[in-house]
Amino acid sequence: MADKPTSGEILGVPYNFDRPSLSRLISAYWQPGEGMLVEKPFGVGYSLNLANWRSWVVVAVAGALLWQQEQSSSTSADESEDEPVEVIVDDD
């Protein structure tokens, strides 16, 4: 029986299931001169290249959106608990 490959590409999406080392993890996420997306060091797909400034913009925007969502959910929960609810029943 033939051994299955632990890394390669399926339908244009890369995969790698080799055991990652610390140096391979660092070199995978920090590749100066490459694009914004790089192959993941373990698993399926792509990840952000932290040596590219565009990746930091994506991280900042995602962080701002998460912060905004957390702020809006905490203020709306506080407001809804304090206000009385009026129920009108129409007997036609």
**Enclosing domain of residue 13:** 7-75
81 assigned to some structural domain: no
Indicate the number of domains in the chain: 1
**Spatial contact of 28 and 39, defined as CB atoms under 8 Å apart:** yes
* 20: DSSP letter: P
Tell me if 38 is assigned to some domain.
yes
Q: What is the pLDDT of residues 20-53, one digit of tens each?
A: 889 988 889 999 999 999 999 999 999 999 999 9
Per-residue pLDDT for 85 more than 60? yes
For the question of whether the overall pTM of this predicted structure is more than 0.85, the answer is no
Q: How many angstroms separate the CA atoms of 52 and 31, rounded? A: 8
Residue 7 corresponds to which tokens in the numbers above?
A: 């890394």
Strands (DSSP E) contained in the chain are 7-10, 13-16, 37-39, 43-44, 46-48
- Cβ–Cβ contacts within 10 Å for residue 46, how many? 14
